[in-house]
Structure 1
C-alpha cells in the first residue's frame, strides 16, 4: 500500500511539473509598449512633416493612428529619414523604430543583411519612375544617357528600376556617369544644370511646371515590371511581443488604403498629399489615367510577390546583395486578412497575376500566424 501511495505521488508530481512547464513555455505577450515608432523612408516636408503618394500618409495627415490609440497611453511617433531606405534599415537594426514605410529594394538589402521583419501590407504600388533633364537638353531617350552625368539615388527602390531601364535599352550603370544624390539634392542639381539628367519620381513634376525640367522618359502606362513598390513592415520581435498593437496599426493603414482607393476622393486625396510640399498638380500628373484602387491597394498578390522576387534576383545580379533571401515567408498577411474581414473589405480590391493582369482568385496568405 505504501509503495502504491509513493508511486501515485511520483506520477502526480511528474504531471504537475509537466503542466507547469507547458504553461511556462506558452508565448507570453509583453506589456503594452510606451510608444509605437514608425519610420518613413523619405525626408518628407510640410508642417507637421509628412509625405505624399502613399495611403500611409493619409493615416499620418488625418491623425488616425493617434485617434485609434487614444486613451491607451501609447504615444505614436513618426520619424522621417533623409537617407531614405538605407537609413531606415539602420534604424531597424538599432531598434530605433518598430514599423517602417519602406521601398522594395532597400528592404531586400536589409533582409539580406539579417534584419528580421514581416511585411504586413502594401502601401503604394506601381510607383512610376522618370528620366528628367534640363530644358533644351538633347537627351530624348534612355539611350541618350550614355556618358552623361546622371543623378541616381543608390540603394533606394528607384535605383533598381533605373538599372533595369538602362539594361532594357542596352546600357548598364557603368555606361553613365552616375552621381549618388538624394531627392532634394538631385532636384537642386538638375535646376542648376549640375547634372545632365536625373532618375526620380513625382517630385520632379514641380520643376517641370516651373519650367526648370523636362520629362524625357516615363514608365507610366508601360510594363508594370518597371515600377516600384512600397510597403509597411514591422520588426519581428515587436510583432511577437505586441500582436494587438500590430493589428491596431494594420487596421488604420487599411482604413487609409480604402479611403485613398475611392475615386470620389481623388481631388481631396491629392490636396491632402500636397501638404507634404509636393504640389497638387504633381499628383494629378503622377496618377493620370490610373485607377486609385490599383495604385493604393494593400493586397499581397502574385504580382507583388513576383516583383519582390525579381528585386532579389536583380539585386544579386548587380551585387547589391551577396546572398539569396526568401520572399514567401517574409509576408505575414494574417493581420491584413483580419482587418479586411473586420472592415468588410475582403472584395474591395482586385488581385493581379505575376504579369500585373487582373486575377479572379486571391493567392493564399503566405504566413498563417502573427
Structure 2
C-alpha cells in the first residue's frame, strides 16, 4: 500500500475508533462537575428558563450514564451567577456550565479555556420593574434614579445596550449592584426605585409589589440575552466521548422542551426553582418553545456573541478584544441532532436573525 493510502487508512480507522468509543461505556472513573449560573428561590437547587435546567430536573443526564457506574454527577448552583461560575472554572472546580453571554466573554478575555458546545436558553427577555411610588413610566425616567443591576451577568450588557438606545449611559443612573433576591427585597421595601431583571419580576407585578414598565418582548431582539452550555478545554480533551454524551443528553432535553405538547409541563419543571409556572407562561406567551429552546449553534448565535464582544469592549466590560474564532464547537450538537433523528426540529437563523430557508 502506498504511504499516502496508508495514512488515509490509519486516519479512517482512528475516526472509527473514536465514534465507537463515543457510544460505549466510559472506560475510567470520571466525575462530571456541572455548574449553573443561577439558583432557585430560597437557594433551591434548580435552574429555570433554559434546557440545561430540564437536563437536570428530569434526570436526563443521569439516564444517559445510568449504565456507567464509574460516572458521577455533581451539580452546583451559584447565587453569584456568571462571575461565580468563572471563578469556579478558574479554580478548576467545574467541567461544564450553563452560563450567559457576557460572563463567558469576560472569562474568555481573562484567559479561561472553554468551548461553547450548544445553545441553552436563547433570546431571554429583559424586564424593568419599578416601585409603585417611583413615578417611573419609561426608560427615559431612570435618569438620576437608584436602580438595581446584577453586574457581571448578561443582564448588564443588555441593559447598557438598552440605555444607549434611549440616549443614556450607566453614568446617568445611580446603579447599585444586587443579585436577584436582594433586588426583589429592595423593591418591596422601596430602598431602590427600580431594577433590571428577569421574568420573575412579573410575579412582583401580579402581587402589586412592583410594576413592570418595560420588557424586550416585541422590541429589538438585540436587547435579548443568550446562554449556552460550555465545557473546559481540559475536560473535552481528556474525555471527548463523555463530552459528546453530555451534549447528546442536552439535545434530548431541548427536544422535550421544544415540543408544544409539553408546554405546560416545561413550565412546571422550571417552577421547581420556586418561580411560579405562570411567570414562564407569560414570558413565553406568543413564542414557540423551540424558538428559545433550540440547542443549535447557528450564524445568529455566533454573530450575536461577536456583537456582544464588541459592545462589551466598547462599554469597557472586558479587557481588550475577545476572539470568537474557535470558541464555538457545533460538531457535537449537530451529530446528536442527526443521530437522534431530530433534523428539522429547530430552525436555523442567519446573522441578522432571519430564518434560513435551508439547513446548512
Using the size of structure 1 for normalisation, the TM-score is 0.88
**2:223 aligned residue (218, 221, 226):** 226
Structure 1 residue aligned with 2:305: 308
Structure 2 residue aligned with 1:119: 116
Deviations 1:282-329 (A, max 9, x none): 001111111111010111112111110111101101111122122131
Shift of 1:238: 0.3
Using the size of structure 2 for normalisation, the TM-score is 0.90
Shift of 1:31: 6.1
Structure 2 residue aligned with 1:191: 188
User: Aligned partners of 1:86, 1:151: CA distance in 2, in Å?
Assistant: 17
- Report the CA distance shift for 1:144/1:36 in structure 2 as closer, same or farther (over 3 A): same
Asked whether the equivalents of residues 296 and 334 of structure 2 are also in contact (C-alpha less than 8 Å), the reply is no
User: Aligned partners of 1:106, 1:63: CA distance in 2, in Å?
Assistant: 27
Q: Which runs of 5+ in 1 are unaligned?
A: 1-22, 364-370
For structure 1, which segment, 86-95 or 69-78, has the greater mean C-alpha deviation from structure 2 after superposition?
Answer: 69-78
Asked whether the equivalents of residues 301 and 352 of structure 1 are also in contact (C-alpha less than 8 Å), the reply is yes
User: Aligned partners of 2:332, 2:29: CA distance in 1, in Å?
Assistant: 18
Shift of 1:168: 0.3
Shift of 1:46: 7.3
Structure 2 residue aligned with 1:58: 54
Task: Specify the SS of the correspondent of 2:115.
Answer: strand
Structure 2 residue aligned with 1:9: none
Structure 2 residue aligned with 1:278: 275
Shift of 1:279: 0.3
Task: Specify the SS of the correspondent of 1:358.
Answer: coil
Greater radius of gyration (CA): 1
Asked whether the equivalents of residues 115 and 230 of structure 2 are also in contact (C-alpha less than 8 Å), the reply is yes
For structure 1, which segment, 225-234 or 268-277, has the greater mean C-alpha deviation from structure 2 after superposition?
Answer: 268-277
Shift of 1:44: 2.4
Deviations 1:128-174 (A, max 9, x none): 00110012431111100000000001100000000110000000001
Shift of 1:354: 1.8
Report how many residues are paired.
Answer: 339
| Aligned 1:327-346 pairs, distance under 5 A | 327-346=324-343
User: Aligned partners of 2:101, 2:359: CA distance in 1, in Å?
Assistant: 21
Shift of 1:52: 1.0
Asked whether the equivalents of residues 32 and 242 of structure 1 are also in contact (C-alpha less than 8 Å), the reply is no
User: Aligned partners of 2:256, 2:42: CA distance in 1, in Å?
Assistant: 21
Shift of 1:45: 4.1
Which consecutive segments of 4 or more residues in structure 1 shift more than 2 A? Answer: 29-34, 43-48
User: Aligned partners of 1:233, 1:362: CA distance in 2, in Å?
Assistant: 24
Q: Which runs of 5+ in 2 are unaligned?
A: 1-13
Shift of 1:355: 2.1
